[in-house]
Amino acid sequence: MLAFLPKLENQPAGIPAPRKTVKAKPAAKTARPKTDGCPPALDGDIYLVKGISAATAPKFHKMGINTVRDLLYYFPNRHLDYSRLKKISQLEAGSEQTIIANVWQSKVNYMGGRRSTEAVLGDDTGNMRAVWFNNPYMVRNLKPNARVVLSGRVSIFNGRPVFESPEWEELPDEADLIHTGRLVPVYPLTAGLHQRSLRRLMKNFIDISTPGISDFLPEDTLKRTRLLPLAEAIRQAHFPDTEELKDAARNRLAFDELFILQLGVLAKKKRWQEQTGRALKINLPAIDHFISQLPFKLTDAQTKCLADIKADISKSVPMSRLLQGEVGSGKTIVAVISLFTAAANGLQGAFMAPTEILAEQHFKSVTRLFASIAKVSTLLDGVYTFEGLLDRPLRVALMISDMKSSQKDILKEKIKKGEIDIAIGTHALIQKEIRFKSLGLAVIDEQHRFGVEQRSALRSKGLNPHILIMTATPIPRTLALTLYGELDLSVIDELPPGRQSIKTRWLKPEQRNSAYNFIRKQIEAGRQAFIICPLVEESEAIQAKAATAEYETLSSEVFPESKVALLHGRMNAAEKESIMKHFNEGKMDILVSTPVVEVGIDIPNATVMLVESADRFGLSQLHQFRGRVGRGTEQSYCMFLAENPSLLGQERLSIIESTQDGFKLAEEDLRLRGPGEFFGTRQSGLPDLRMASISDVGLLEQARREATRLFESDPELNLPENKALEEEIRRVWPKKSEWS
pLDDT at position 123 over 70: yes
With beta carbons less than 8 A apart as the criterion, state whether 424 and 336 touch: no
CATH T-level assignment (fold) for domain 285-492? Rossmann fold (3.40.50)
Residues of CATH 2.40.50.140 domain(s) within the chain?
79-186
Radius of gyration, CA atoms only, the chain: 33
Cβ atoms within 10 Å of 9's Cβ, excluding its own: 6
For the ranges 108-117, 268-277, 413-422, the maximum mean pLDDT occurs at 413-422
| CB burial readout 322-346, b (16+ within 10 A) else e | bbbbbbbbbbbbbbbbbbbbbbbbe
Average pLDDT over residues 639-660: 87
With beta carbons less than 8 A apart as the criterion, state whether 324 and 492 touch: yes
| Burial (CB count <10 Å: 0-12, 13-18, 19+), residue 194 | exposed
pLDDT tens digits for range 70-122: 889 999 887 777 677 788 888 888 777 888 888 988 888 887 778 888 899 99
- Say how far apart CA 303 and CA 337 lie, in whole Å: 11
Q: In the chain, what percentage of residues exceed pLDDT 70?
A: 82
pLDDT tens digits for range 170-207: 776 545 667 766 788 888 877 777 787 888 888 988 88
Angle 243-273/230-238 helices, nearest 10 degrees? 130
256 pLDDT tier (thresholds 50, 70, 90)? very high
Q: Which CATH class is domain 503-659?
A: alpha beta
From 242-251, 493-502, 673-682, 703-712, the region with the lowest mean pLDDT = 673-682
Please name the amino acid found at residue 343.
A
619 pLDDT tier (thresholds 50, 70, 90)? confident
pLDDT at position 4 over 70: no
Q: Regarding predicted confidence, which is higher, 599 or 263? A: 263
Which pLDDT does position 678 carry in this prediction? 44
Cβ atoms within 10 Å of 42's Cβ, excluding its own: 16
- Say how far apart CA 642 and CA 268 lie, in whole Å: 43
With beta carbons less than 8 A apart as the criterion, state whether 139 and 132 touch: no
pLDDT tens digits for range 151-175: 888 888 878 888 888 888 777 654 5
CATH T-level assignment (fold) for domain 29-76+193-212? DNA polymerase; domain 1 (1.10.150)
621 pLDDT tier (thresholds 50, 70, 90)? confident
In sequence order, which residues have a C-beta less than 8 Å from that of residue 363 and are 6 or more positions away?
Answer: 396, 398, 424
- Say how far apart CA 465 and CA 468 lie, in whole Å: 10
| CATH of 79-186 given 1.10.1760.20, 3.30.70.330, 3.20.20.70, 2.40.50.140 | 2.40.50.140
Specify the DSSP element, H or E, that contains 3.
Answer: none
Average of per-residue pLDDT values in the chain: 81
Which pLDDT does position 173 carry in this prediction? 52
pLDDT at position 18 over 80: no
Q: Regarding predicted confidence, which is higher, 387 or 14? A: 387
Which pLDDT does position 679 carry in this prediction? 43
Which pLDDT does position 20 carry in this prediction? 37
From 175-179, 317-321, 597-601, the region with the lowest mean pLDDT = 597-601
Which pLDDT does position 507 carry in this prediction? 92
Q: Regarding predicted confidence, which is higher, 539 or 77? A: 77
Residues of CATH 1.10.150 domain(s) within the chain?
29-76+193-212
- Say how far apart CA 652 and CA 618 lie, in whole Å: 8
DSSP state of 636: -
Task: Please give the biggest Cα pair distance in the chain.
Answer: 109
In sequence order, which residues have a C-beta less than 8 Å from that of residue 488 and are 6 or more positions away?
Answer: 308, 312, 319, 320, 321, 322
Specify the DSSP element, H or E, that contains 462.
Answer: none
pLDDT at position 606 over 80: yes
From 72-76, 456-460, 568-572, the region with the lowest mean pLDDT = 456-460
DSSP state of 46: G
Q: Which residues pair with 667 in a beta bridge?
A: none
Q: In the chain, what percentage of residues exceed pLDDT 90?
A: 28
List C-alpha distances in Å: 713 to 264, 555, 719: 15, 66, 10
Q: What angle do CA 343, 282, 490 make, to 5 degrees?
A: 95
- Say how far apart CA 361 and CA 369 lie, in whole Å: 12
Which pLDDT does position 55 carry in this prediction? 82
Q: Which residues pair with 641 in a beta bridge?
A: 507
Residues of CATH 3.40.50.300 domain(s) within the chain?
285-492, 503-659
pLDDT tens digits for range 238-253: 999 888 999 999 999 9
List C-alpha distances in Å: 481 to 5, 96, 712: 63, 43, 17
Which pLDDT does position 682 carry in this prediction? 40
From 99-103, 346-350, 376-380, 397-401, the region with the lowest mean pLDDT = 376-380
